[in-house]
Chain A
């Protein structure tokens, strides 16, 4: 049984690697292909054909894949009689058109192969638990990649997925504090603002600075950091502010934290728009032209890693201490848990990830302005946490995507004046969406007090009625 599994895994891996090899080689094959198809150099004599062909190569150089494919189809359809299609050319064309999907599929196959090997070789039961999530995560990421290539980067679905992933990270970071540690903070927008600004300021390429900081003589900072480093610093900046706020406030017993953080968020929003700081923050003007991401995989990867880290933290001995504080401070302290140190830790970590979320949001929006980070943003996140369930990470994630999809997409039609025949549908006009949205949220809060998930986690095992856990527990006895 073991050898069979490993053999299957090997075959899968070989297939996957082969496909990846061909797919990757097809990536840069288009210019050569165009030459081969036009063996007689007909394009040189036909002006229209040359233009169509140039449109393809231009789009390719721009790096806009959608446009390239569109222009390529037009070129191939328009001049099929003048082009030669050998078997080799057809195959290469197919590979070029589909290489992202093929790559994604192959990565998925590789993940399955890896999972099989883990299953076969695992002596303890430790890694088996890892294998299934591994495959699911690979499937998720491949799925996103494929969907992105089918619908295009800027489709509504991708917009929702990108923003949803970012909101998921921010909601989980808030849940760490409000849901798991029992500390009520209302400063999320403030920490996001710090993260977004830190990221934008640090990652604007030097050559763009003169233009961005046009009112401040090119600004004070004349260097630029790589995006990943900027994101980490964005998180650290937010964490640093949290540390300063926590020092006095978290020593107090009651809920001063909510007031302090709310006030902090308002103050920081004003400070970042202050003219005197213009050489750094660009005053009340937009920050723009910083490095942004071009694929949804980027926010998914970063949010995914961060949420995974938070989940690991919550299930570690520190996470247990946080939950103990939430359940009963007096008992937690009597069990040797230093209340202040642990509250401070939870607050700083939560703010770090809010800062990272802010940086991602900046990348998603491509521009940043302090005025947009209002307390309404904090309430949005709080709503997501409540709807998803205080103390449920998967709840926060699910609720984020639902919330973003509903507010950006599904309820959009409510804002459009609509005619059925000559009859104008009542109520539908700009702004009605927010009214309907509020009603939906009120219903959820009223009837699903504990949110979608309560404080439980989404579990595949439970969903498909898997009895493995129960069996294992039974075996041990």
Chain B
């Protein structure tokens, strides 16, 4: 593929009332990379994800996906007076995409506080995420004229469950699965949207060291198998150092360091802000 830049953030700022959750964040992710975003609790990592995926419209700044402008905003209305972000230049365009539109472009995500469809089985959870690929319309789907497509979607869902090692739990209710499996199910569900860029919000949260190690292998594996670019938020330093090509570190919404894992490990600012606070 000719796309070199998968994702680019330019001066993204997200301000809630007086709280600047993300402040002048600029970053750049190339195709096929695994990039990690780290920082202490409340640093604004999840908020950054929400700005990329259209959950929030950022107060200021722009997001490009494969060189296409998908999000752009400047302080509007009440925010004109309230704005206290560090970056004082404002893009003139306003571009807003809803989360479903951004997913359709090829950006999928998982959630920090697992959001599975509670009344549905593992299989159904994955199957729902194939809905956006449908060629059928309401009538053909209701009258089952789309059975070939339905068959393909079901096969895809099974393959993905197999890929994350959950085929045996196919018909179990998603919420009845243990924590680690729910996290993997969320990844399978995100993969069912056939993304090119996968955003993982703390995929190893609540996992023990063995599970975390297995997850690291798994993430590297799916990158290869599905040709993915991966952007992840994570607190487990071993995992981050192990699989990331590059790392961004933020604190209080601002970037404090960026570089290769080795560089981050020895960066005094990072140690002060992050490792010093959150002892591993």
Contacts and interface: CB of A to CB of B under 8 A. Distances in A.
Interface of A: 309, 312-313, 316-318, 320-321, 323-324, 326-328, 330-339, 345, 391, 455, 473
A345 B53 CA distance: 24
Which 3 interchain pairs have the tightest Cβ spacing?
A336-B132, A336-B103, A331-B115
Given A328-B118, A330-B115, A334-B100, 5 more contacts: A318-B131, A323-B120, A327-B119, A335-B189, A336-B193
- Contact residues on B (Cβ < 8 Å of other chain), bracket: 35 or more
Contact of B153 (A312, A317, A323, A332): A317
Given A312-B144, A317-B153, A331-B115, A324 B128 contact: yes
23 contacts: A309-B142, A317-B131, A317-B136, A317-B150, A318-B138, A320-B128, A321-B128, A321-B131, A323-B117, A326-B119, A328-B116, A333-B99, A333-B103, A335-B131, A335-B190, A335-B193, A336-B129, A336-B131, A336-B132, A338-B101, A339-B98, A391-B119, A473-B171
Contacts of B55: 330, 334
Contacts of B99: 330, 333-334
Contacts of B117: 323-324, 327-328, 331-332
B141 interface: yes
Contacts of B252: none
B143 interface: yes
Nearest to B104: A336
Contact of B100 (A309, A326, A337, A391): A337
Nearest to A312: B142
- Give the interface SS of chain A, mostly helix, strand, loop or mixed: helix
Interface in B110-159: 111, 115-120, 124, 127-132, 134, 136, 138, 141-144, 146, 150, 153
Nearest to B141: A316
Given A317-B153, A336-B103, A345 B138 contact: yes
Contacts of A339: 98, 100
Interface centre among A324, A326, A331, A391 (most CB of B within 10 A): A331
Contacts of A338: 98, 100-101
A335 B128 contact: yes
B197 to A, nearest CB: 13
A333 B109 CA distance: 11
A336 B107 CA distance: 10
Given A333-B99, A333-B100, A336-B131, A455 B119 contact: yes
Nearest to A331: B115
B134 A317 contact: yes
B143 A312 contact: yes
Interface centre among A318, A335, A339, A473 (most CB of B within 10 A): A335
